[in-house]
Amino acid sequence: METIIIAAGVVAPIISAIVNVAKEQFKLDGKQVSVLAIGTGIIIGLAYAVTINQGDYATYAWAGLVAGLSAIGYYELAFNTKSGGK
């Protein structure tokens, strides 16, 4: 689990940048941006597992998924509660 969170933290800003550029260039809406972010995250995670780490594909695919969700804000939404304050 620790590896997933660390990898997601490193990859999320990259995914966010890629998604924002694509969103502006291709005028994507909310659902398309979500799919693009999640797909990009999983692809980047698997690419890392194939090229650099050479193994542990499931861990890095999950890290990519979490990074994609984080890049579009869903990860924070799911784990932050509405407590009225920060």
- What pTM was computed for the model? 0.77
Q: What is the mean pLDDT of the chain?
A: 83
In which domain, by residue range, is 64 found?
A: 2-79
**Per-residue pLDDT, 75:** 54
Per-residue model confidence as pLDDT tens digits over 61-86: 999 999 998 888 875 555 555 555 45
Look at residue 27 and tell me whether its pLDDT is greater than 80: yes
Looking at the structure of the chain, the number of domains it has is 1
* HEC per residue, the chain: CHHHHHHHHHHHHHHHHHHHHHHHHHCCCHHHHHHHHHHHHHHHHHHHHHHHHCCCHHHHHHHHHHHHHHHHCHHHHHHCCCCCCC
